[in-house]
Amino acid sequence: MEERNLAQRASQGDREAFGELVRLHQAGVYNTAYRMTGNRQEAEDTAQEAFLRACRAISSLDPSRPPGPWFRKIAVNVCLNRLEKRQALPLEEMLAASTDPGPESQTIERESSRQVRTALASLPPRYRAAIELRHYQELSYAEMAETLGRPLSDVKSDLFRARKMLAERIRIE
Amino acid sequence: MKKHLPEEILNEYLDDVLDGLARHQVEIHLFDCVECRAQLDALHLVSSALAGLDNEPLPHNLAPAVLAKIPEQHTRLVWKLVLAAQAGIAIGMIIILLSDLLVWFQPQEWLALIFSQLASLEFPISYPSFTIPRLQAFNFQVSSTNIIFLAVSALLLWGVGNAILMNNRHEVHK
Ligand SMILES: [Zn+2]
Q: Would you list the DSSP string of B12-37? A: HHHTT-S-HHHHHHHHHHHHT-HHHH
List, for residues B82-97, the tens digit of each pLDDT value: 778 888 888 888 887 8
Give every CB contact of residue B117 below 8 A, 6+ residues apart in sequence: none
Nearest to A55 among B52, B56, B70 (CB): B70
Kindly state the average pLDDT of the residues B122-131: 50
Q: What distance in Å separates the CA atoms of residue A74 and residue A36, rounded to the nearest whole number? A: 13
Given an 8 Å threshold on Cβ–Cβ distance, is B69 in contact with A52? yes
Q: Which chain B residues are within 8 Å of A116, Cβ to Cβ?
A: 49-50, 52-53
Give the closest residue to A134 by CA, choosing from B56, B149, B15, B164.
Answer: B15
Cα dihedral A123→A125→A129→A131 (10° resolution): -10
> Rounded to the nearest whole angstrom, what is the distance from the C-alpha of residue B25 to the centroid of ligand 1?
12
Reported as a pLDDT band with limits 50, 70 and 90, residue B161 is confident
Q: What is the pLDDT of residue A99?
A: 44
**pTM for the model:** 0.67
* % of chain B beyond a pLDDT of 90: 37
Q: What is the pLDDT of residue A22?
A: 95
List, for residues A38-63, the tens digit of each pLDDT value: 999 999 999 999 999 999 998 888 88
Give the closest residue to A10 by CA, choosing from B84, A2, A79, B69.
Answer: A2
The answer to whether residue A171 scores a pLDDT higher than 90 is no
- Report ipTM (2 d.p.): 0.86
Residues B24-58 as b or e (16 or more Cβ within 10 Å = b): eebeebbeebeebeebbebbeebbebbeebeebeb
The chain-wide mean pLDDT, for chain B, equals 79
Q: What is the pLDDT of residue B135?
A: 53
Give the closest residue to A87 by CA, choosing from A71, A76, A99, A98.
Answer: A98
Q: Where are the alpha helices (DSSP H) in A98-151?
A: 111-121, 125-131, 141-148
Alpha carbon A157 to its chain's center: 19
The conformational region for residue B168 under phi > 0 = left, psi -120 to 50 = alpha, else beta, is alpha
Nearest to A135 among B11, B47, B72 (CB): B47
Domain boundaries, given as residue ranges, for chain A: 1-89, 106-173
What's the CATH number for A1-89? 1.10.1740.10
Given an 8 Å threshold on Cβ–Cβ distance, is B45 in contact with A170? yes
Kindly state the average pLDDT of the residues A23-41: 95
What's the CATH number for A106-173? 1.10.10.10
List, for residues B28-37, the tens digit of each pLDDT value: 999 999 999 9
List, for residues B96-124, the tens digit of each pLDDT value: 788 777 777 777 777 788 777 776 665 44
Reported as a pLDDT band with limits 50, 70 and 90, residue B51 is very high
List, for residues A109-166, the tens digit of each pLDDT value: 788 889 999 999 999 999 999 999 999 999 999 999 999 999 999 999 999 999 999 9
Nearest to A44 among B7, B47, B62 (CB): B62
- The DSSP call for residue A102 is S
Give every CB contact of residue B104 below 8 A, 6+ residues apart in sequence: B142
**Minimum distance, in Å, between the CA of residue A163 and any CA atom of chain B:** 7
Residues A22-32 as b or e (16 or more Cβ within 10 Å = b): beebbebbbbb
Q: What is the pLDDT of residue A127?
A: 97
- Fold: same for A1-89 and A106-173: no
The chain-wide mean pLDDT, for chain A, equals 87
Q: What is the pLDDT of residue B173?
A: 45
Reported as a pLDDT band with limits 50, 70 and 90, residue B171 is very low
- Residue of chain B whose alpha carbon sits nearest to that of A166: B46
Q: What distance in Å separates the CA atoms of residue B4 and residue B34, rounded to the nearest whole number? A: 10
